[in-house]
Each structure stands twice: as structure tokens, then as C-alpha cells.
Structure 1
Amino acid sequence: MLKPLLEKLAEEYKGRFLLAMVNADENPELSQHFGVRSIPSVKVLFQGQLVDQFDGALPEGQIREFLDRFALPPAPGGDLRAEAAALVIEGKLEEALAKLVEASKQKPEDQAIQLDAVDVMMQLGRNDEAGQLLSGDYTQEADRANALRARLALAAGAADTAELEARLAANPADHGARLDLSRAYAAQGDFRAAMEAALEVVVRDRAFNEGAGRKALLTLFEALAGSDQYDDLIREFRRKMSAALN
């Protein structure tokens, strides 16, 4: 289908062209004006003038070639940021960080790019550098910056997980040790394990230390809220926490 393909490309091209959909049956005068003879029909307008067109559903590659002739050039740093995001997914964090540094040089006012770099630095364990970069004033990305600061604070809670796991094996009711273990997992970047440990405290004793298990989960949710990659994890454990509390 042409419509979803064009919508996907409009999203991917990020404002380099404006997509407008018109129902030919509901707009016969417009269809006649632009000489629409078959459906679907794609028209390219520039400053109100028809500059090119094609009819029918073409393969994606041909549509991309067609669009590239007319679309605006990419915004500085935009493609590099997308490339960096793809590298993060592949686990190539050093390469991703290099792309983001280059993108930030091209577009130094873009706070989203700077925070992407902070996120990658933290995944690499370069927390001192991340903290220095986070010390700036991120007025345009305040919520995400605060979430990353909260995540950086979690990283300061490193502890010996083996020792804590041994304590829990000896006494599964040691909720304090379980919460310490949750913080230790979070400091290592194992956020699923951190949430599982905190949730276990909620399940075993929701009232422990004035609801410390629930508070630990909320802290984790807040700390990870600025990164799309954790959205599914947050939703999963919000549901589990809600079920445990009801």
C-alpha cells in the first residue's frame, strides 16, 4: 500500500518534505485542477506549482529516488544522530558516541544530541564524563536531563552483588539486603534485575520501611524515563507493581 509507505518516509525524512493526503472523490475540483486520472496519484508541489508527479504504487526504492530529487537537505547533525541510535541498538557504543560528538559539533545548540551522548557515556561506564556534561542547563530537555541525573545517581550505589545475594540466600526475608541488591544491580546497568529485586520486596512486605520497595521502583522508573529503550521495561514493571499493591 502506498499510503503507509509515504507516511513512513515522511516520518523518516523528518520534515524534509510535507505529506498531504487528499480524497479525490471528496475534492473533484482539486482533482481536475491537477489532472488526476488514476488513483493513487502523487503530485509534488513547490510554491504552489506542480513540479513533478507519478501515478500508481512504485517500489520503495524508486519512491526514495523520486523524493530525493525534491526533498530539503538533511538538517545538520540529524542523520548522524539517527546513525548513532542505530549503532546503540547494535551495541556499538564507542562508534555511536563518536557520531554524537560529531553531530554536536555540527549542531551545538541541540540539547537532545548532547543528552544522547550522556546516555551512551553512562552505558559505557564513563560516568564522570557524563556527570560533567549533565552539569549544564538543559532548559529545552529538562525532563530527560533530570531522568539522566537520577540514573547517574543510581550508578553511585555500586556494591558487591555476590555478597548481597549470599545474604539473601541465607535469609530471604532480609528486605534491606534485597533493596541494597536492587541498587547494586542498577549501578551495574542491570535494570531488569534491579526492578525484580525491588518488586520482590513489594510482594513480600509492601509496608517494609514505609513502602521502600515501591519507592525503589518509582526511583528506577524516573531514572529510566528519558530513554525510549526502557519504555517496555517500565510498562511491564508498572503493571507488576500495580498488581502486587492491589
Structure 2
Amino acid sequence: MTQPPSGFNLRGAVDLSALSKPAPTPGGGDAAAPQGVVVEITAETFQQAVTTSMTVPVVVDLYSSRSAASTQLSATLQQLAAGAGGKFQLARVDADANPQIAQAVGAQALPTTFAMIKGQPLPLFQGDHPAEQIQAVLDELLRVAGENGVTGTISVEEQPETPEEPEEPPLPPHLQAAYDAIETGSFDDAAAGLEAALKQNPADDEAKALLAQVELMRRLDGVDPMAALTAARDAAPGDVATQLVAADVEVSTGQAAAAYARLLAAVRSSGGDDKEAARARLVELFLLADPAEAAVLKARRDLAIALY
């Protein structure tokens, strides 16, 4: 292990502060230091750790979830941080998701542990080590931090307690049964159960919305999305069968507004059964969205105009 040398000179360290510059805060003030003894940071939030290191030593655990040594070291570091009374902050960085941080500090292996004091990195050690050896390095780090005027602490007492999330009430049996069927790919069973429930209670909006989702999944089973969109692009708006499939694909890929516009064009360009099929599909797709969404409200208005 590499221990911080006595008399460590911060001027010789590499400046990591340029890794992630935060957006200016209103009034020109710096962003507040992060709260918590153990935090998870990314390239985008790295500047928060740099800011914290101006007053509190920050130990950075550069880990990989694919590494057993990383898992063991992280557990040890978190235990030591919890027992340090806020004398340093442990900032954990997923190196797989944030390779630019690993590159910036020249990490040769994972896990790698380094510290920051006044925004400057100080190499500590690579790999996993016994807790007593790591504690010795941390003690030396705190000594060096003190020599450089970094003697603040994380105020553990002021940390807001994370409220326990209330347990969600259980779903009604018919909805739970439908979700269970969906998870196993039994769309027909899910649809049958929901249809039966709606016969008993036609005003069950949750069952209506879930049935619309099940029907969409049934229709898209085996459909090639790109082929469906290409076919619709080359077809006339009045080719309702082709446009219906393309609209389903668009809704399933988050392009609801495009699906609405496609079906409105089909309504305007067709008549008889085809017109009714396009109208009915559009109304069914509305069930999959928030009725207050601007795209839904606009499409409903446009549909009324197209029909009358």
C-alpha cells in the first residue's frame, strides 16, 4: 500500500477540478457541498466531491461491480467511514460507468483508492487490504489533511433521515392476476381476465388501461418495428391496416404524438369500416396516456373535427 508521505505538497498534485464543471448557481455562489458520510458520485457530480475536499478530506473508492475485490474493499471502506465520525467523506465511483475519472487519475487496476484534499488527488492504494492496514492509511491521510488546514467534518447529526417509503397497497385480485399473466407472456389469459372484470364493472378505468396495454402487446407480438414503419411510409394514409400497425409501433417506442397524427390522417382519408377502425384504435391508444397530456388533448380535438 502507498501511504501519504509526510509533508505532502498539494501543489504537485494533478488538478481534477476540470473533470466536471457545474452550471453556475443563481447569484454566482458555489454549489453546496454534498451531504452524507458515504456518497455515490459520477463524472457529472464529481465537482461536488472536489468542493467538499476544500474543507473535509474525501476518500474516493474507484470500484467495479465486476470485481470481487472491489466489493470487499467497498464494504470495508464504508464500515471505516461510518466509524470515523464524519472526519472524512467516502465518495464511491463506478469506474465502469465513469471511465473518464479512472483515466484522469491514471488508475492501473480496480479497485483503486485515492484521496482529495483541497481539490487535489493523493494516491492511496490499489486492490483490497485488511481493515487495520487501511485504517493506518486513513489516519495518515487525516494527519496530512490537518497539516494543510483541512479539518472539517461531515455533520452526521444534521443528515435528514430518509423517510421510509410507505408500502404500496396490494393490487385488486383481477389486476394482480393480469400482471402475473403478463409476466409469463400469457397475454390471452391476461386479456380474458380483464374483459371478465370489465363486464362486472365497466367503470374500472385501471382495468381498461391495462387491457389496452395487453392488447397492444398482443398486436405487436412478432411484429418487426422497422418493417412496419417502412411499410406505412410507403403506403397511402387510407391503407388503414398498415397504418394501424405502424401507430402501435410508435406508441410502444414513446412516439405517441406521431401515432395520433398517423391515425388522424387515416380517419380523414378513409370511410366506412376502415374509418371506424382507425377511430377506435386512436381512442384505445388514448387509454395508455395521461388524459391531461397536451398531445392527447390536441388529438381528441382533432378527432372530433375529423369526424364532424
Fold equivalence (TM over 0.5)? no
The normalised TM-score by structure 1 is 0.41
Higher gyration radius (CA)? 2
In proportion to residue count, which structure has more strand?
2
The normalised TM-score by structure 2 is 0.34
**Greater RCO, 1 or 2 (C-alpha within 8 Å, sep 6+):** 2
In proportion to residue count, which structure has more helix?
1
